[in-house]
Amino acid sequence: MTTELRKRVYTTPPGVKLVPVASIPDPGARNVVLQIGEAFFHGFLVHKNGEVRGWVDRCPHHGLPLAQKLDQYLTPDASMIACSWHGALFRVEDGHCLGGPCVGGRLTPWPVEVLDGIVTTA
């Protein structure tokens, strides 16, 4: 049996319906994987204070996905996004790294919007 690495992409086309905004706790986060052709996009959504933001699921430190457990992207108090591998901490509002091994770095934004209660790629 051979193992192939699945190609990743880091952008998505606009207009893809993802999940109902009501299905993401506020505050809370949700993992999203989309197949785009033969490749896969890995992202996550953060719902906080009535707003939804999207981020590419890739830490700027080593390029790993941030969460080791499904949907566990936020610190216990839900004040920041946390990389579970090396402890980097990111602001929810702009993805700027404030602590850990990639201070000064940023998460890559993933444009999303809420249309008629559904989180959709923008």
In this structure, which amino acid lies at residue 119? V
R_g (Cα) of the chain, nearest Å: 14
pLDDT score for 4: 59
pLDDT score for 1: 46
Measured between alpha carbons, how far is 80 from 122 in angstroms, rounded to an integer?
Answer: 23
Walk along the chain (122 residues) in steps of 10 and give the mean pLDDT of each run.
73 98 98 96 97 96 92 97 95 97 95 98 98
User: How many Cβ atoms sit within 10 Å of the Cβ of residue 77?
Assistant: 7
- Check: CB of residue 24 under 8 Å from CB of residue 51: no
* 3-class DSSP string for the chain: CCCCCCCEECCCCCCCEEEEHHHCCCCEEEEEEEEECCEEEEEEEEEECCEEEEEECCCCCCCCCCCCCCCCCECCCCCEEECCCCCCEEECCCCEEEECCCCCCECCECCEEEECCEEEEC
Question: What CATH code would you report for 8-121?
Answer: 2.102.10.10
